[in-house]
Amino acid sequence: MSSQSETQISNESGAKRIVVVGNGPVAHHFIESVVQGNKLPDFHICVFGEEPRLAYDRVHLTAWFETRDAAPLMMASEEFYQTHGVEHFANEKVITIDRDNKTVKTESGLEKPYDFLVLATGSFPFVPPVPGHDRKNVFVYRTIEDLEAITKASESAKTGVVIGGGLLGLEAAKALHDLGMQTHVVEFAPRLMAVQVDDGGGSLLRNKIEALGVGVHTNKNTQQIVDGENAFHRMEFADDSHLETDVIVFSAGIRPRDELGKHSGLVMGDRGGIAINNLCQTSDESIYAIGECALWNNRIFGLISPGNQMAKVAADAICGEASLEFTGADMSTKLKLMGVDVASIGDAHGQSSGSLSYTFFNQAEEIYKKIVVSDDKKKLLGAVLIGDAEDYGNLLQLMLNAIDLPEHPDALILPQRDGSVSVLGVDSLPDSAIICSCNGVSKGAICSAVAEGCHTIGDVKSATKAATSCGGCTALTTQVMNAKLASLGMEVNTHLCEHFPYTRQELFHLVRVENIHTFKDLIEKHGHGLGCDICKPTAASIFASCWNEYVLKDEHHNLQDTNDYYLGNMQKDGTYSIVPRIAGGEITPDKLIVLGEVAKEFNLYTKITGGQRVDLFGARVEQLPFIWRKLIDAGFETGHAYGKSVRTVKSCVGSTWCRYGVDDSVGLAIEIENRYKGLRSPHKLKFAVSGCTRECAEAQSKDIGVIATEKGWNLYTCGNGGMKPRHADLFASDLDKETLIKYIDRLLMFYVRTADRLQRTSVWFGNLEGGLDYLRSVIIDDKLEIAEELETQMQSIVDNYQCEWRTTIEDPIKVKRFNHFVNSKRHDENILFVQERDQIRPATKAEREIKMVEMK
Amino acid sequence: MYQLVCELDDILPNAGVAALVGDEQVALFRVQLEGKEHVFGISNYDPFSDANVISRGIIGTMGDELVVASPVYKQHFSLQTGQCFEDETVRLKTWFVSIDGNKVYVYDKKIEVA
Ligand code: SRM
Ligand SMILES: Cc1cc2nc3c(=O)[nH]c(=O)nc-3n(C[C@H](O)[C@H](O)[C@H](O)COP(=O)(O)OP(=O)(O)OC[C@H]3O[C@@H](n4cnc5c(N)ncnc54)[C@H](O)[C@@H]3O)c2cc1C
Ligand code: SF4
Ligand code: FES
């Protein structure tokens, strides 16, 4: 329960004691703010949390289902608290405050004195007291324990109902749907998301959600819950209708957890909430309240970003200069709910007096947009966007910065079919405009990052943190970056090199559309000069991705980079390594023996690689064809370890042997490797397949990762090990194999078409405007209408596969090119080995000089 | 004196081979400029990687200069002068090469002296 001894830190040290009640995201942000302000030694913090674990990211609670593991959600850690001397207690509820003696008391009887008390107790889900609300298999959706319980119940449930069609209700409904239940949403109001959207938007949203197979029931007042006939529960509504279901989740709003404030006599709001001033101080000046339990100006803020602002203000008030103030927060939101873009800004209902509204409703494409403007049509007051929320960032800025609207405000939401640019230029925004509200990044901060050398959206993201949380601001952040680049006179030169005034992506397009097959043609038509070591390998790679011809064909040979030139990885001494393909890491004893025999015969250094195969090092160039002849005769083929191409598909042992495995990961890995082997790409591609969530194949660090689930395969993408590791994103869940392969085909081809040279999928993704949602819309929803083309293109690569080593050894002229000298059979005497741990290694320069002397 | 090393056809257009000239390794690059054949001879030894690999580099132009990029660490060397672009203190040895019909000759000082 307690991680530290109970010794009370006395006041002798002079440190002021801050007690924090609640260890949710906002409490944690408060503690971080104090730590960052460097105010600990002068203060001592003790935090009590009622939940069994330290603070975790409630905003992304639903992501728990991806791994069913709390670890990825954790915000606070034992280590962080210990490092900073923060005394912390989990599973320890505070039950009373003694304001006279300035102490708090916990359920288990602990007592702590405080100089400052910070209440960050959050809120609880409101469960209306309908008879039967306390039945078994009735849940709320707030903590990890709630989700664990829902998951457990889902195992024996067919149907699920969420009571409440608000933001959280729809998120919960998605979860029930994903757990495989036939799902319904029951809403008291006449429409979904009544707080954020109006009738028009609500009905469109409803259509979209129903199209996903989720039942929507509005105007339903639940009277009681009783035993069902065909399911566990029966819900009876005021209009005499009823609905049967196995699981019920209440999501009927939240209420502040203000009981400590109430019992200790702090000033409260009429409908709850602990009243605070601009410093987040309650009516007792040594007690502060922050987050969802706090009431400012008679308002509760049920979002994370105002809570974080309060945390900063309180930390500054207690430990700093009291220079910050909380002055309210904007409650605009943009989300993707069950695949539908929804955004609501400011006064979405047009409640301000005299306000006027404009509505655009495109029923065919299911897009609804509404703006609310002031009576003089000069200022934007609010907006609702459904189905297409791309304008969110722009509209939000117009409202927040009270920017004058164009003469005809409806232009803001009418489609601009003639390609004219958006009405709001980012230039009109003040430097102080907050572009990324999740992370509080201003336009000014983005501009200075650009001025300091961040010239891609990926760089700007990592330097400023903008666009790294909800991603809603990515488009706007990019616009600000581009505008700044332009103003610095830095029209970023995206030319591939001095010989081609095009990007790789543009060249790819030209090659494809004009059916260009040789470098000579390409440079004559679209470039100039002789080319160089940048454009030649790039062109070679594009030709290979498009036409998949033999890379050592005479007209391609001289374009190939170092390793492709001799179909092996050149080592530091000019020798080569040999890596035969061992698909999925599976190999027969006979083949293993062949590897050993060949290595012995040619005296090669042998090592198991990090990619589950065997690397044979130290072959001189003229030995390569002989070595490969033996390997190919024994049934091996090239492993493309030298190419910017598909490398390996790592596998775990999977369900065939492993007691936890839920599917045959080795089988799938081999299938995938054989499908994509030989695909050349802007950079190398690595895959992995794991047989269950234990993830022994480390699929989440790969360009393409696949993990078996009870219901199919989860597809992860754009992970990376290497220099800048990136955790892959879950792209789609529970796919059948056919769909999985389809998505991988499309993903890979889309990457091959659009990435820059030497750009791994992770970096490509980081620069992709629109992020994961955009990628999904292209790959899954086929927004660009290219899916079929991508698949066809991939199929042609698959069909044209050849083992280029086999082709090579069958052509005597090609084999001849492997001689070190054009005019002599001698080999390169500069290559010398010494023995180490019973194998060869390249001699160092010093060793070589000694040996050379000995030989002479 | 000039020593016959190979036929022009032994070298792919815009690519290189290594030749043994005396006891030295020469990288020969065949370049087609405005329809005319040229062969350049430059040391095959890459001082940055300490390996005999220059003949396996990609050739091209940097501005007006004809260059080869080392296949190991990608420094560029002028095919005409051997000068390294990334490090002005490094210059590779160069050889005179002459083409006679389909025959490629390299001028080797040592042989002449001998
Ligand atoms: C042989 C091997 C090391 C080993 O002994 O285990 C290896 C060796 C090389 N790696 Fe690697 N990497 C090997 C696994 C990895 C892995 C682990 C894996 O694939 O599971 C990684 C991290 C995972 C990843 O890529 O996301 C890895 C990240 C790199 C990187 C950094 C890439 C990045 O995105 O940051 C480079 C440099 C590059 O590609 O620019 C690199 C480059 C290289 C090169 C090609 C360097 C070079 O140009 O000479 C090495 C030569 C290989 C050769 O001569 O055969 N190698 N390399 C592994 C071959 C696996 C195989 O069977 O094909
Ligand atoms: C599923 C879900 C999705 C969400 N999505 C978003 C979103 O997309 N965007 C957004 O901005 N917000 C979202 N939210 C809301 C967001 O999570 C909250 O605004 C945020 O968690 C508030 O943080 P808090 O620390 O104030 O309260 P909480 O997170 O509720 O934390 C308070 C903690 O204090 C503990 N506690 C309470 N009383 C005591 C006591 N007496 N003693 C000890 N401990 C106590 C509680 O157990 C709790 O752990 C979402 C919430 C949920 C549930
Ligand atoms: S990932 Fe799962 S199935 Fe594969 S080896 Fe590990 S525990 Fe077994
Ligand atoms: S606004 Fe959420 S990431 Fe920027």
| Residue linked to tokens 């949710």 | A24
Contact (CB<8Å) A558/B20: no
**Residue A4, pLDDT above cutoff 50:** no
Distance CA A664, CA A653 (A): 8
- Residue of B3, B14, B23 to mutate when probing chain A, most A C-beta within 10 A: B14
Name the closest residue on chain B to residue A571, using Cα atoms.
B72
Which of A533, A823, A830 is the closest to B51 by Cβ? Answer: A830
Q: What is the pLDDT of residues A272-320, one digit of tens each?
A: 999 999 999 999 999 999 999 999 999 999 888 889 889 999 999 999 8
Which of A536, A557, A823 is the closest to B19 by Cβ? Answer: A823
Question: Mean pLDDT for chain A?
Answer: 89
Distance CA A603, CA A840 (A): 8
Distance CA A122, CA A27 (A): 9
CA–centroid distance, A467 to ligand 4, in Å, is 5
Q: What is the pLDDT of residues A525-544, one digit of tens each?
A: 999 889 999 999 999 999 99
Nearest alpha carbon, ligand 2 atom 21: A58
Going by C-alpha positions, the residue among A606, A612, A532, A621 that lies closest to residue A570 is A621
Structure tokens that stand for A322 in this block: 């009291």
**Residue A337, pLDDT above cutoff 60:** yes
A54 versus A72: which is more confidently predicted? A54
Ligand 2 pocket check: which of A28, A31, A59, A60 to mutate, most ligand atoms within 8 Å of Cβ?
A: A59
**Residue A599, pLDDT above cutoff 60:** yes
A41 versus A204: which is more confidently predicted? A204
CB A43 within 8 A of CB A86: no
Nearest alpha carbon, ligand 2 atom 20: A304
Percent of chain A with pLDDT over 70: 96
Please give the average per-residue pLDDT across A764-792, as a whole number: 89
CA–centroid distance, A148 to ligand 2, in Å, is 17
**Residue B49, pLDDT above cutoff 80:** yes
Nearest alpha carbon, ligand 3 atom 6: A696
Distance CA A645, CA A684 (A): 5
Please give the average per-residue pLDDT across A131-159, as a whole number: 95
Please give the average per-residue pLDDT across A724-730, as a whole number: 90
The DSSP code sequence of A642-708 is: TSSBEEEEEE--GGGT-SS--S-HHHHHHHHHHHHTT-B-SS-EEEEEESSTT-TT-GGGSSEEEEE
Pick the ligand that lies closest to the CA of residue A50.
2
Give residue A330's identity as a one-letter amino acid code: D
CA–centroid distance, B74 to ligand 1, in Å, is 18
Atom of ligand 2 nearest to the CA of A124: 30
Q: What is the pLDDT of residues A86-104, one digit of tens each?
A: 999 999 999 999 999 999 9
Distance CA A44, CA A228 (A): 55
pLDDT of the residue at A491: 66
Quote ipTM for the complex: 0.74
- Size of chain B in residues: 114
Going by C-alpha positions, the residue among A166, A185, A179 that lies closest to residue A126 is A166
Distance CA A562, CA A707 (A): 35
A384 versus A605: which is more confidently predicted? A605
Q: What is the pLDDT of residues B81-102, one digit of tens each?
A: 999 988 889 999 999 999 998 9
| Residue linked to tokens 């006041």 | A11
Please give the average per-residue pLDDT across A376-387, as a whole number: 89
Nearest alpha carbon, ligand 2 atom 24: A122
Give residue A713's identity as a one-letter amino acid code: W
Ligand 4 touching residue A473 (CB < 6 A): yes
CA–centroid distance, A294 to ligand 2, in Å, is 12
Q: What is the pLDDT of residues A153-208, one digit of tens each?
A: 999 999 999 999 888 898 899 899 989 999 999 999 888 888 777 787 888 888 88
CB A619 within 8 A of CB A575: yes
Helix or strand run (H / E) with residue B15: strand B15-21
Pick the ligand that lies closest to the CA of residue A475.
4
Ligand 1 touching residue A609 (CB < 6 A): yes
Give A71's pLDDT tier (boundaries 50, 70, 90).
Answer: confident
Q: What is the pLDDT of residues A303-316, one digit of tens each?
A: 888 898 899 999 99
CA–centroid distance, A722 to ligand 1, in Å, is 8
Distance CA A823, CA A832 (A): 22
pLDDT of the residue at A739: 97
- A-chain residues within 8 Å CB-CB of B50? 572-573, 830, 845
Give A855's pLDDT tier (boundaries 50, 70, 90).
Answer: low
Ligand 4 pocket check: which of A59, A470, A769 to mutate, most ligand atoms within 8 Å of Cβ?
A: A470
Distance CA A759, CA A780 (A): 23
Please give the average per-residue pLDDT across A346-361, as a whole number: 84
pLDDT of the residue at A470: 64
Q: What is the pLDDT of residues A433-467, one digit of tens each?
A: 888 877 778 899 999 999 988 888 878 888 888 87
Ligand 3 touching residue A695 (CB < 6 A): yes
Ligand 1 touching residue A619 (CB < 6 A): no
Q: What is the pLDDT of residues A644-665, one digit of tens each?
A: 999 999 999 999 999 999 999 9
CB A346 within 8 A of CB A330: yes
Distance CA A575, CA A619 (A): 5
Distance CA A405, CA A122 (A): 38
**Residue A2, pLDDT above cutoff 50:** no
Which of B6, B33, B45 is the closest to A822 by Cβ? Answer: B6
Ligand 4 touching residue A438 (CB < 6 A): yes
| Residue linked to tokens 């609702």 | A384
Q: Which of A245-249, A377-381, A576-580, B107-111 has the lowest mean pLDDT?
A: B107-111
**Residue A150, pLDDT above cutoff 90:** yes
pLDDT of the residue at A523: 94
Give A152's pLDDT tier (boundaries 50, 70, 90).
Answer: very high
Ligand 4 touching residue A480 (CB < 6 A): no
pLDDT of the residue at A432: 82
Q: What is the pLDDT of residues A194-215, one digit of tens each?
A: 877 778 788 888 888 898 889 9
Helices A737-754, A504-513: axis angle to 10 degrees equals 110
pLDDT of the residue at B36: 87
